[in-house]
Amino acid sequence: MNKSLIDWSHQEFSNLPWRKNRTLFRTLVSEIMLQQTTVSTVLNHFERFIQEYPSVEHIAKATNEQLTVSWKGLGYYRRARNLKKACEYFHENFNGEIPLNFDLLIEAPGIGEYTANALLSIGANQKALALDANLERVLSRIHGIKEQKGPKLLKLLKKKFDEGEIAPDIEKFGPRKFNEALMDLGRNWCKANKASCDLCPLSHDCSAASSGRPLDIPIRPAKKSGDISFNLVLLRLLFFKDGHIYVYRKKESEWLAGQYEVPTFTLQCEDSNFSQYPFLDFSDHHFLPEYKTLITKYRITNKVLVVNDQDLKQLNVDPSLYQLKPVDANSNLSTATMKAIQLLK
Ligand code: SF4
């Protein structure tokens, strides 16, 4: 590790809100928010969320529905439910404190190895390596470890860390600054598809840079059939009555569990195993302008139709199938449902 990298990281990124007024709780929230979400997105939501839920207890006592509303804009709502489970556990078992012990931390639901190590290293400045995708990539490049990205590589990096072979100077720089600097490096210069070795202060000590082919490390897994994406066409029905939009609540087993959606049908799907929405044989209607969304491996074209009671009957939409209920605009509506409603404005 190089002091100029630590200084660059501190100078450029110490203003990130979760790096100020550091507490374990703020670290827990920010680390869970930052998983699979960009820094710029989290910047728009972190302080607002913390003001709404200033402690473990506030999150533990919130309902899942309240939390999903507050999580809006951050996506991947399962993380909000996991955060709540972890806070409930800390509230019940540790009086709302977050224990500073790896074995106790990973006992908590919703806390995996990465988050436990992030809490120790970044939250409490204790010796630990928070091996996220950035650290996995940067450390394997610096040390020239030609292993496939994934569990085997993470295990190898951890073993080398425990044996002092990698990051031997972590305590010299401080575990917090060390981890943060590597994360910043991975996010800005040493990216998966572009390595700016000319700008990187580690270029003289980096095995991948001296090989001239930094992007070859770590080895990327071959594409599996599961990586294929599918085109999907959905029909969204806007049914208004007495100034309310009628929606149904998504079940735990469905996409966007706990959120409200307008009745939705599958018109076409390239994936014959798709079962999130019932199929409807339907065409020849005047739809509102369509919009695109993306969820997991599905590229979705959303067609929207405004309907009345009569239309619902003609379409054979069984209201009991959806248990439709009226809600107002402040309810926990899915993003796709909000986009459909906005077409009318
Ligand atoms: S020198 Fe290049 S490959 Fe090595 S850590 Fe820096 S950006 Fe990554």
Q: What is the pTM of this model?
A: 0.73
d(CA 218, CA 130): 17
| Number of neighbouring beta carbons within 10 Å of residue 66 | 16
pLDDT for position 209: 95
For the cut 70, the answer to whether the pLDDT of residue 322 exceeds it is: no
Is residue 43 domain-shared with residue 190, that is, in the same domain? yes
- Which of 216, 236, 260 is the C-terminal boundary of a domain? 216
| Length of the chain measured in residues | 345
Is residue 177 domain-shared with residue 232, that is, in the same domain? no
203 lines ligand 1 (CB under 6 A): yes
pLDDT for position 239: 87
Distance 219 CA to ligand 1 centre (A): 15
Is residue 90 domain-shared with residue 110, that is, in the same domain? yes
Residue among 124, 103, 118, 137 at smallest CA distance from 179: 118
Is residue 184 domain-shared with residue 271, that is, in the same domain? no
Is residue 205 domain-shared with residue 261, that is, in the same domain? no
- Which of 163, 194, 216 is the C-terminal boundary of a domain? 216
Is residue 152 domain-shared with residue 169, that is, in the same domain? yes
- 31 assigned to active site: yes
Looking at ligand 1, which atom is closest to the CA of residue 208? 3
For the cut 80, the answer to whether the pLDDT of residue 109 exceeds it is: yes
- With 0-12 / 13-18 / 19 or more C-beta atoms within 10 angstroms meaning exposed / middle / buried, residue 342 is exposed
Cα dihedral 243/249/250/251 (nearest 10): -170
Distance 46 CA to ligand 1 centre (A): 30
Distance 118 CA to ligand 1 centre (A): 22
pLDDT for position 279: 86
Question: What total of structural domains would you count in the chain?
Answer: 2
Tokens of 134: 């950035």
308 lines ligand 1 (CB under 6 A): no
Longest dimension (CA), the chain: 73
Domain span holding position 103: 3-216
Is residue 209 domain-shared with residue 306, that is, in the same domain? no
- Which residues on adjacent β-strands are paired with residue 260? 249, 333
Is residue 254 domain-shared with residue 333, that is, in the same domain? yes
Is residue 130 domain-shared with residue 66, that is, in the same domain? yes
| The one catalytic residue among 12, 31, 163, 290 | 31
Contact 299, 292 (CB under 8 A): yes
For the cut 90, the answer to whether the pLDDT of residue 59 exceeds it is: yes
d(CA 25, CA 15): 18
pLDDT in tens, 155-212: 999 999 999 999 999 999 999 999 999 999 999 999 999 999 999 989 999 999 999 9
**Which CATH number fits the domain that encloses residue 335?**
3.90.79.10
d(CA 15, CA 9): 10
**Protein residue with least CA distance to atom 8, ligand 1:** 190
For the cut 70, the answer to whether the pLDDT of residue 51 exceeds it is: yes
- Which of 216, 236, 256 is the C-terminal boundary of a domain? 216
Residue among 233, 237, 234 at smallest CA distance from 306: 237
Distance 307 CA to ligand 1 centre (A): 56
Q: What are phi and psi of 292, to 5 degrees?
A: -105, 145
Is residue 203 domain-shared with residue 264, that is, in the same domain? no
Is residue 212 domain-shared with residue 232, that is, in the same domain? no
